[in-house]
């Protein structure tokens, strides 16, 4: 096919200077326009090769890149704390959580529900993104957080069960081998070790591979879908039990396949936060000989829940802006102006 | 910065609908991107019927490798390149805590590099300006790894089938060894090897090796060519298009020397990267990051550069036409 085309092709050399930049050299939509005898003729063309100066790894304007973006986003993320009231609201909850950790394990649902409220506020385009601490709201955070924890457990239950059963197989095999060894020593066993291993070894390898594949599937499929459903739940568009609704699951999967870039970008960011915060806490705890444990919930609230809530909020904004999640309360134009 | 603007020369081709007689004349002309309306004024320098070109340049392996080796340091030689290179490596290293995400990301990024080199973009490194760009590379990487796995399923099946035989031969040997130590077996070590183990092993091992080598040397480069096509078209269905797979085999066959050189380079840098990783993992905690930086510098970047230059060779010797895929959007 190429050879046939090649014979009828004509080649032209076209030169222009550096001050004119031509970014798109895709060839799909280029035309060469020329005045011949006062008549303008357009030739459709494609670029065969260029002799422009050798490419650079990075351009000068590339410096307005990720780090600057990250810096700006960090600034935005920290901006609410410049207001003393907001800071006190978060600090107040942090102090409350410090006490709660001794009373009863209420921390996790409360902090998670609080985080959901940040997501809701950002998704709706509210001017204030720091959740308030009215008694009724606190009850709501707690309730929503509890639902979320239960649903999360249900989502990851198959994974946990699988890993448990699969690891169980490992231990059973090990036990079998040990038992076989004992009976062999007592001269009661007939089956040779070779035959026994031959029967079991392939299963070992199979189990390992299966575990790996399941972890992979959970990471790239279930996690993003769960997060999108979580955003819908935070925005009050679905009820708690809808986490298990196949239609909702399918819709979240559809959103994920339409816009994987934003979802996975936030995924990376939250993983990074989890890692960094774990590292910081590990260092703080070891440096303070464990005393920092007294105020740990407050530190976690500031360092982990706030940035993660903010990140999911950014994702919620993106999804609302692109129309994947129904726009709450406002018209699209108005919403976009808000941001 | 530069006092005299550099002149760029493009070599343009016209589709077969333009007759020889109605070809453009030498003189001033305007190049228009009909989609964006961007215009560039310049000169048509020469118009000629295309010469039949054959790829008669013999890819000499040593100069090729030394050229590729030099490219390892390419980003470090630039002022802006250095910081960008280090920031991408830092992102990759920060992902090395969850190894899978990192390998997804870096594969997507490699595809971007291959595209930019192949299309002669002024900047090689694909732009990362926001989190969504990172996510885009991860998504690309998930797709590529998944499809590579599908391409490799026959190979894995073969290896598993023959692998069992190999294990069997090994266990037979173990069985003999136990008997031998307890004095039940009279055959000597070499006698056993010669009469039982070697014939058993030889067959399955040689088959395994042959299948592995043949399958990898054919399918991996074809997969790379397919991913170049994917980079041009951005349609994942292209990976399962039978016609395109056969076309990729044709591309591979017609530029087999360049392709195999790039594939060898891929194997070499992957080996170097694995060795460095092993070495760095002896350092606790920080070793993970150091290993990630090393893998990025010595495997991922040179590998993508190698395949990028390969894609460029394909395009310039006209065995692969990006415009054909771009128009399919």
pLDDT digits (tens, 9 = 90+) for B169-197: 676 777 777 777 666 666 666 666 666 66
CA–CA min distance A139, chain B (Å): 34
Q: Judge contact between B65 and B86, C-beta under 8 A.
A: no
| pLDDT recorded at residue B194 | 67
Mean pLDDT of A222-246: 90
| Closest-CA residue of chain B to A201 | B167
- Going by C-alpha positions, the residue among B43, B9, B224, B45 that lies closest to residue B120 is B9
**Between residues A339 and A80, which one has the greater pLDDT?**
A80
Residues of B in contact with A219 (CB under 8 A): 98, 100-101
pLDDT digits (tens, 9 = 90+) for B289-303: 889 999 999 999 999
Q: Judge contact between A57 and B61, C-beta under 8 A.
A: no
* Beta-carbon separation of B101 and A60 below 8 A: no
Residue A3 has pLDDT above 50, yes or no: no
Least confident of A162-176, A251-265, A294-308, B143-157: A162-176
CA–CA min distance A134, chain B (Å): 34
* Beta-carbon separation of A10 and B171 below 8 A: no
* Two tokens, residue B260: 């195999």
Alpha helices in chain B (DSSP H): 61-72, 79-95, 99-118, 131-181, 189-192, 198-233, 242-254, 256-280, 286-295, 301-316, 322-326
| pLDDT recorded at residue B56 | 45
Name the region of B120 (left: φ>0; alpha: ψ -120 to 50; beta: rest).
left
Percent of chain A's residues with pLDDT above 90: 16
* Beta-carbon separation of B123 and A18 below 8 A: no
Q: Which residue has the tokens 């957080």?
A: A145
* Beta-carbon separation of A27 and B121 below 8 A: no
| Closest-CA residue of chain B to A257 | B139
* Beta-carbon separation of B24 and A34 below 8 A: yes
Taking all residues of chain A, what is their mean pLDDT, rounded to a whole number? Answer: 78
| pLDDT recorded at residue A68 | 73
Q: Judge contact between A191 and A143, C-beta under 8 A.
A: no
- Closest CB to B35 among A29, A51, A318: A29
- Strands, DSSP E only, in chain A? 10-17, 30-36, 39-50
Torsion of CA A230, A231, A234, A237, to 10 degrees: -100
* Two tokens, residue A256: 């994920």
| pLDDT recorded at residue B3 | 40
| pLDDT recorded at residue B84 | 83
For residues B139 and A254, what is the distance between their CA atoms, to the nearest angstrom? 14
Q: Judge contact between B116 and B125, C-beta under 8 A.
A: yes
pLDDT digits (tens, 9 = 90+) for B93-109: 888 766 678 889 999 99
- Going by C-alpha positions, the residue among B112, B89, B85 that lies closest to residue B102 is B89
**What are residue B28's DSSP bridge partners?**
B43
Residue B260 has pLDDT above 80, yes or no: yes
Q: How far is CA B246 from the centre of its chain?
A: 18
For residues B83 and A169, what is the distance between their CA atoms, to the nearest angstrom? 49
Reported ipTM: 0.72
- Closest CB to B31 among A14, A18, A197: A14
Question: Where does residue B313 rank: exposed (0-12), middle (13-18), buried (19+ CB within 10 A)?
Answer: buried
Beta strand pairing call for B7-14 and B27-33: unpaired
Interface test with A, best of B2, B3, B14 (most A CBs within 10 A): B14
- The answer to whether residue A15 neighbours chain B at the CB level (below 8 Å) is yes
**What are residue B17's DSSP bridge partners?**
none
| pLDDT recorded at residue A60 | 63
Residues of B in contact with A71 (CB under 8 A): none
Concatenating the DSSP letter of every residue in B184-211 gives ---S-HHHHIIIIIHHHHHHHHHHHHHH
- Going by C-alpha positions, the residue among A126, A122, A133 that lies closest to residue A90 is A133
pLDDT confidence band for A18 (50 / 70 / 90): low
Residue partners of A167: CB distance under 8 A and separation at least 6: A211
Interface test with A, best of B173, B305, B323 (most A CBs within 10 A): B323
Supply the angle between the helices A306-321 and A107-124 in degrees, to the nearest 10: 30
| pLDDT recorded at residue B22 | 67
Concatenating the DSSP letter of every residue in B23-75 gives PPPSEEEEEEETTT--EEEEEEEEEEEPPP--------HHHHHHHHHHHHTGG
**Between residues B62 and A62, which one has the greater pLDDT?**
B62
Would the CA dihedral through A123, A126, A129, A134 be positive or negative? negative
- Going by C-alpha positions, the residue among A310, A319, A338, A320 that lies closest to residue A86 is A310
CA–CA min distance A279, chain B (Å): 11
Least confident of B59-63, B171-175, B211-215: B59-63
pLDDT digits (tens, 9 = 90+) for B123-168: 888 888 788 888 999 999 999 999 999 998 888 887 777 766 666 6
pLDDT confidence band for A110 (50 / 70 / 90): confident
Containing A206, the helix (H) or strand (E) segment is helix A193-217
- The answer to whether residue A8 neighbours chain B at the CB level (below 8 Å) is yes
**Between residues B122 and B311, which one has the greater pLDDT?**
B311
Count of C-beta atoms within a 10 Å radius of residue A294: 12
Percent of chain B's residues with pLDDT above 90: 28
Residue A63 has pLDDT above 60, yes or no: no
Q: Judge contact between B93 and B292, C-beta under 8 A.
A: yes
Residues of B in contact with A56 (CB under 8 A): 78, 80-81, 122-124
- Closest CB to B29 among A14, A18, A23: A14
* Two tokens, residue A189: 């066993």
Mean pLDDT of A246-250: 92
Mean pLDDT of B71-78: 82
Least confident of A44-48, B73-77, B224-228: A44-48
Measured CA distances, B84 to B58, B76, B78, B203 (Å): 35, 9, 10, 51
| Count of A-B CB contacts under 8 Å | 336
Residues of A in contact with B142 (CB under 8 A): 220, 260, 264
């Amino acid at each position: 096919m190429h050879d046939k085309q090649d014979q009828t092709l004509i080649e032209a050399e076209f030169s222009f200077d550096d001050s004119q930049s031509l970014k798109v050299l895709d060839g799909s939509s280029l035309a060469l326009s020329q005045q011949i005898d006062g008549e303008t003729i357009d030739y459709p063309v494609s670029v065969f090769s260029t002799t422009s100066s050798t490419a650079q790894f990075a351009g000068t304007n590339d410096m307005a890149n990720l780090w600057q973006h990250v810096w700006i986003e960090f600034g935005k993320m920290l901006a609410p704390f410049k207001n003393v009231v907001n800071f006190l609201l978060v600090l107040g909850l942090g102090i409350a959580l410090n006490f709660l950790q001794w009373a009863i394990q209420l921390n996790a649902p409360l902090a998670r529900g609080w985080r959901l409220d940040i997501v809701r506020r950002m998704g709706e385009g509210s001017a204030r993104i720091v959740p308030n601490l009215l008694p009724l709201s606190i009850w709501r955070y707690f309730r929503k957080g509890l639902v979320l924890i239960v649903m999360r457990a249900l989502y990851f239950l198959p994974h946990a069960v699988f890993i448990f059963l699969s690891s169980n197989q490992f231990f059973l095999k090990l036990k079998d081998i040990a038992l076989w060894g004992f009976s062999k020593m007592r001269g009661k066993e007939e089956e040779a070790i070779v035959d026994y291993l031959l029967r079991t070894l392939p299963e070992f390898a199979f189990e390992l591979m299966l575990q790996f594949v399941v972890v992979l599937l959970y990471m790239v499929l279930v996690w993003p879908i769960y997060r999108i459903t979580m955003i819908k739940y935070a925005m009050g568009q679905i009820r708690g039990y809808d986490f298990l609704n196949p239609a909702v699951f399918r819709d979240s999967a559809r959103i994920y396949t339409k816009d994987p870039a934003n979802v996975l970008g936030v995924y990376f960011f939250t993983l990074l936060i989890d890692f960094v915060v774990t590292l910081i806490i590990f260092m703080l705890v070891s440096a303070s000989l464990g005393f920092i444990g007294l105020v740990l919930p407050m530190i976690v609230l500031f360092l982990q829940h706030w940035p993660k809530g903010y990140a999911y909020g950014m994702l919620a904004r993106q999804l609302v802006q692109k129309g994947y999640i129904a726009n709450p309360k406002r018209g699209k134009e108005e919403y976009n102006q808000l941001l | 910065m530069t006092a005299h603007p550099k002149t760029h020369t493009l070599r343009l081709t016209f589709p077969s609908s333009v007759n020889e007689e109605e070809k453009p004349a030498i003189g001033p002309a305007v190049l228009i991107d009909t989609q964006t309306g961007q215009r560039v004024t310049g000169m048509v320098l020469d118009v000629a019927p295309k010469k039949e070109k054959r790829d008669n340049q013999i890819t000499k392996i040593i100069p090729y490798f030394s050229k590729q080796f030099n490219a390892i340091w390419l980003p470090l030689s630039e002022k802006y390149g250095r910081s960008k290179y280090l920031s991408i490596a830092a992102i990759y290293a920060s992902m090395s805590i969850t190894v899978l995400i990192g390998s997804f990301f870096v594969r997507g990024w490699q595809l971007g590099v291959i595209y930019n080199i192949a299309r002669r973009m002024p900047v090689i490194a694909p732009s990362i300006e926001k989190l969504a760009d990172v996510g885009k590379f991860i998504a690309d990487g998930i797709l590529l790894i998944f499809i590579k796995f599908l391409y490799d399923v026959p190979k894995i099946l073969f290896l598993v089938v023959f692998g069992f035989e190999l294990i069997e031969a090994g266990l037979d040997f173990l069985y003999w060894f136990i008997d031998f130590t307890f004095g039940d077996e009279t055959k000597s070590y070499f006698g056993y090897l010669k009469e039982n183990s070697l014939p058993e092993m030889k067959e399955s091992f040689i088959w395994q090796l042959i299948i592995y080598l043949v399958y990898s040397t054919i399918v991996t480069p074809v997969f790379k060519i397919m991913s170049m096509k994917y980079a041009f078209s951005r349609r994942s269905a292209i990976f399962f298009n039978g016609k395109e797979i056969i076309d990729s085999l044709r591309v591979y066959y017609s530029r087999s020397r360049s392709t195999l050189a790039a594939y060898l380079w891929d194997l070499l840098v992957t080996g170097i990267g694995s060795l460095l990783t092993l070495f760095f993992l002896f350092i606790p905690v920080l070793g993970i990051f150091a290993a990630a930086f090393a893998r990025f510098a010595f495997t991922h970047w040179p590998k993508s550069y190698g395949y990028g230059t390969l894609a460029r060779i394909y395009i310039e010797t006209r065995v692969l036409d990006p415009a054909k895929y771009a128009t399919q959007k």
